[in-house]
Chains A and B, each alone.
Chain A
Amino acid sequence: MGAVSGFFGTLASMIPLQFCVLDPDNQMFFDLSIFGHSARVNAVALITGLLIIAVTWAFALAINEIRHRWLARKRIIAATDSAPGAFVGYSFSPWIFIAPTVIGLALFTYYPAAQNFFLGTQLARRGVANTAFICLDNFASLITNPLQDAHYYVISNGFFFLAENARYLAVLGNSFFFSVLIVLCTNVLGIAIATVASQKIRGAVVYRTLMIWPYAISGVVVGVVFAVLLGGGGSGFFNQGLQLLGLPSLPFLSDPWWARISVVMAATWNKLAFNVLIYIAALQAVPKELLEAASIDGANAWQRFLNVTLPIISPYIFFVVFLNLNYSFFDLFAVIDNLTGGGPVNSTTNLVVDVIRVGVESRDIGKAAAQSIILLLIVIGLTYLQFRVLGRRVTYGVD
């Protein structure tokens, strides 16, 4: 199975390339140094190899998944196809009911997604209808493009490996940095707050309302307000407070690392209300008998939380973690754009912000489409991971 899909995957990705990899005019090189050893790498060949691996892998997964589904369907085919309560004698109306949605999705989701693959191989400028085929140069330029003034110590700067001229790797590093920290902060804080808020206490519903209303606040408002709290022309609220305590003020939005921390703080606050909401519901579903039994066995509060509560709410944790991962990879644009604008010197530019910078501000649609394809690959990876983790029962018992 794997060999067959591997063969077809390679074939499928080679045909549209028109063997342009072999064209000597299309060679782009960059210097890669890993732990001090430096080498000259052909970017087009590297990208082609990576694409073939990715496509093959995706094909193998898809075939495996379809086979799995097909086997599962055969077993439950009677249950799904009987459709109890279906209207009899209406063969045309379901199509009328569902056509607007299907047409809308085909035109505004599927067509642009497919168009990305075409535009990714083109030299396309914003506002210009004509395009020209340039092979994989858009992808290759992601790793050969000069870094200019970007700070990129997340994955480079001699500490892990140094990819010279790799602006996109720095952007990728920023995205992963944000995701890890945001998921960690929102979930730890969310569970902690929900633990307090789910106590049976007078006025619990009122407290819950007072805690979760920030759910309705937009990313723009979060960005704008935190820009005043943290920045404020160098003396925002936080720095005023630090000065009042006799401490030196911090360069929240002007230092690359502090700017990243600021984005994490703002995004954490933006998502916290949602997590608290879910975790309150999750914690209230924990059966009291189990907690009582544990305390009779001599478990203290922390042990009860670790050994009883946490395993029971773990499906909720996975669910929330995946939603937060999606948020921190794809929905941070409004916060970043209004808090730091991607700066200072690109240190808070993540994948989506870079797509907009390249595609809209630099007017290079082709390169932005190439970046969108990488975003799509990340989506596929996240979705696959989500199905693998959430598809399995994480804990026996209450759900």
Chain B
Amino acid sequence: MTPITAKRAVEKPPGPRLQAIREPLVVKRWYIHLLLWIIVLFMGFPLFYAVLVSTQSNAQMFRLQLTPGDSFGINLEAVLDRNIARLMFNTFAVASMVTFGKAALSIFSGMALVYFRFPGKSLVFGFILVALMVPGEVTIIALFRLVALDLGWGNTWTALVIPAVASPTGVFLFRQHFASITPELSEAAQLDGANPLQFLFRVLLPLSRNAVAALVVIMFIGAWNSYLWPLLIVTNPDLQVIQVGLSTLDDGLEIGRTYGPIMLGAVIASIPPIVIFVLMQKQFLQGFALTRNK
């Protein structure tokens, strides 16, 4: 047998025999589809209900009407009266700044931990790892005192952005990611005379596009959904973020409360993170592959 025929045999597309083996792996049982649809409805149900109520008046909601109501316009007006556009813009601005800062600092720190040799490196890494374990809620009282009283940043976006920017999680994940890239790459870059910044922007970042995207999604959703810190540090409604604004939509008296605007606010506040999550799902799942190795 000549090598050429052997190669041809390998290149041949899978024949009917192979397909016959692969076929039974795909299950075509209708009850699994039914079960899956029930699960999908169950998982989405609270938000589906919120969408439904956001179009209804109180009377329609209490009648358990399961079709869209006629009060969407009134509800939207009520929500806009509460300045929801301003709140959404604020949240978008703050979350973008936090995400950008976190990503930039994490990339640089991860690079320092992987591509440089310096005294006390393992100590610095330990310092970051310990901080990774401490949830923000543990330090929030002392942090509040520090930021509001000692630094005087109360009621500013500085207080929302700066303390959130140093991210041990981000540093840790980028360090793990960079360490998984073969060191021959940076050796080759050094041979070609690249300095660390050139290596970062020309080689490392283009290679890490998926990891960066995944972490940006996680960071953005986290920043968008943060509630406790803005609730404490910002009291000026013009600077407030949507999550806190949302809970003030709920502040009406029990008697005069209308549920449509509250639900509409909840839906509007959920749209940006959901859209970003669904659009970047593929990268996000790779981000999870990173976190799982923790």
Residues of A within 8 A of B (CB): 80, 83-88, 90-91, 93-95, 97-98, 100-105, 107-113, 115-116, 119, 124, 126-127, 129, 193, 196-197, 199-202, 207, 209-229, 232-233, 235, 237, 240-241, 244, 269, 272-273, 276-278, 281, 316, 319, 326, 330-331, 333-334, 337-338, 352, 355-356, 359-360, 365, 368-369, 372, 375-376, 379, 383
Residues of B within 8 A of A (CB): 25-28, 32-33, 35-36, 39-40, 43-44, 46-47, 49-50, 53, 61-62, 64, 105-106, 108-109, 111-118, 121-122, 124, 127-128, 131, 133-135, 137-146, 148-149, 162-163, 165-168, 171, 182-187, 190, 196, 199, 221, 224-225, 227-228, 232, 243-244, 246-247, 249-250, 254, 257, 259, 262-263, 265-266, 269-270, 273-274, 276-278, 281, 285, 288-289, 292, 294
- Taking CB atoms, residues of chain B closer than 8 Å to A213 are 44, 274, 277-278
Distance between Cα atoms of A105 and B163 in the complex (Å): 8
Interchain CB contact under 8 A, B112 and A84 = no
Interchain CB contact under 8 A, B269 and A220 = yes
- Taking CB atoms, residues of chain A closer than 8 Å to B163 are 104, 108
Q: Contacting B183 at CB < 8 Å: which of A85, A107, A331?
A: A85
Give the most central of A115, A273, A369: most B CB within 10 Å.
A115
- Taking CB atoms, residues of chain A closer than 8 Å to B186 are 85-87
A384 → chain B closest CB, angstroms: 10
Interchain CB contact under 8 A, A119 and B26 = no
- Taking CB atoms, residues of chain A closer than 8 Å to B108 are 97-98, 100-101
B108 → chain A closest CB, angstroms: 4
Distance between Cα atoms of A237 and B27 in the complex (Å): 36
Distance between Cα atoms of A209 and B278 in the complex (Å): 7
Interchain CB contact under 8 A, B49 and A225 = yes
Task: Name A115's closest neighbour in chain B (CB-CB).
Answer: B142
Distance between Cα atoms of A238 and B163 in the complex (Å): 41
Interchain CB contact under 8 A, A379 and B138 = yes
Distance between Cα atoms of A375 and B136 in the complex (Å): 11
- Taking CB atoms, residues of chain A closer than 8 Å to B144 are 359-360
Give the most central of A113, A226, A244, A383: most B CB within 10 Å.
A113
Task: Name A322's closest neighbour in chain B (CB-CB).
Answer: B294
Interchain CB contact under 8 A, B39 and A193 = yes
- Taking CB atoms, residues of chain B closer than 8 Å to A240 are 62, 64
Distance between Cα atoms of A295 and B106 in the complex (Å): 48
Task: Name A108's closest neighbour in chain B (CB-CB).
Answer: B163
- Taking CB atoms, residues of chain A closer than 8 Å to B228 are 333-334, 356
Interchain CB contact under 8 A, A101 and B109 = yes
Does more than half of chain B's interface fall in helix, strand or loop, or is it mixed?
Answer: helix
Interchain CB contact under 8 A, A273 and B139 = no
7 residue pairs from A and B, CB less than 8 Å apart: A85-B114, A101-B109, A103-B166, A104-B166, A210-B44, A212-B281, A216-B276
Distance between Cα atoms of A334 and B242 in the complex (Å): 13
Q: Contacting A105 at CB < 8 Å: which of B127, B148, B274, B292?
A: B127
Interchain CB contact under 8 A, A278 and B292 = yes
Distance between Cα atoms of A227 and B257 in the complex (Å): 13
Q: Contacting A237 at CB < 8 Å: which of B64, B114, B131?
A: B64
- Taking CB atoms, residues of chain B closer than 8 Å to A105 are 127-128, 131, 166, 168
Interchain CB contact under 8 A, A113 and B142 = yes
Report, nearest first, the 7 A-B pairs whose CB atoms are least far apart.
Answer: A104-B166, A85-B183, A218-B225, A112-B142, A94-B116, A97-B112, A216-B273
Interchain CB contact under 8 A, A228 and B247 = no
- Taking CB atoms, residues of chain B closer than 8 Å to A338 are 247, 250
- Taking CB atoms, residues of chain B closer than 8 Å to A98 are 108-109, 112-113, 124
Interchain CB contact under 8 A, A225 and B47 = yes
Task: Name B40's closest neighbour in chain A (CB-CB).
Answer: A210
Distance between Cα atoms of A216 and B225 in the complex (Å): 8
Distance between Cα atoms of A384 and B149 in the complex (Å): 34
Distance between Cα atoms of A232 and B259 in the complex (Å): 8
Distance between Cα atoms of A90 and B277 in the complex (Å): 39
Add 11 more A-B contacts to A104-B166, A228-B50 (CB < 8 A): A86-B116, A115-B146, A127-B148, A129-B149, A199-B27, A201-B27, A212-B281, A220-B247, A359-B141, A359-B144, A372-B139
- Taking CB atoms, residues of chain A closer than 8 Å to B259 are 228, 232
Does more than half of chain A's interface fall in helix, strand or loop, or is it mixed?
Answer: helix
Interchain CB contact under 8 A, B224 and A218 = yes
Interchain CB contact under 8 A, B227 and A102 = no
Distance between Cα atoms of A124 and B150 in the complex (Å): 14
Interchain CB contact under 8 A, A102 and B124 = yes
Task: Name A277's closest neighbour in chain B (CB-CB).
Answer: B288
- Taking CB atoms, residues of chain B closer than 8 Å to A372 are 138-142
Q: Contacting A217 at CB < 8 Å: which of B47, B61, B162, B254?
A: B47
Interchain CB contact under 8 A, A90 and B196 = yes
Distance between Cα atoms of A113 and B168 in the complex (Å): 15
- Taking CB atoms, residues of chain B closer than 8 Å to A212 are 43, 281
Interchain CB contact under 8 A, B32 and A196 = yes
- Taking CB atoms, residues of chain B closer than 8 Å to A197 are 36, 39
Interchain CB contact under 8 A, B146 and A86 = no
Q: Contacting B269 at CB < 8 Å: which of A90, A129, A218, A331?
A: A218
Distance between Cα atoms of A107 and B25 in the complex (Å): 55
Task: Name B62's closest neighbour in chain A (CB-CB).
Answer: A235
Interchain CB contact under 8 A, B262 and A201 = no
Interchain CB contact under 8 A, B225 and A220 = yes
Interchain CB contact under 8 A, B117 and A86 = yes
Task: Name B282's closest neighbour in chain A (CB-CB).
Answer: A205
A82 → chain B closest CB, angstroms: 9
- Whether A109 contacts B139 in the complex (CB less than 8 A), given A87-B116, A213-B44, A225-B47, comes out as yes
- Taking CB atoms, residues of chain A closer than 8 Å to B32 are 196, 199, 201
- Taking CB atoms, residues of chain A closer than 8 Å to B115 are 85-87
Interchain CB contact under 8 A, A379 and B43 = no
Interchain CB contact under 8 A, A228 and B262 = yes
Interchain CB contact under 8 A, B227 and A333 = yes
Distance between Cα atoms of A379 and B138 in the complex (Å): 9
Interchain CB contact under 8 A, A201 and B26 = yes
- Taking CB atoms, residues of chain B closer than 8 Å to A209 are 278, 281
- Whether A218 contacts B39 in the complex (CB less than 8 A), given A201-B33, A209-B278, A379-B134, comes out as no
- Taking CB atoms, residues of chain A closer than 8 Å to B47 are 214, 217, 221, 225
- Whether A101 contacts B49 in the complex (CB less than 8 A), given A85-B115, A111-B146, A281-B288, comes out as no
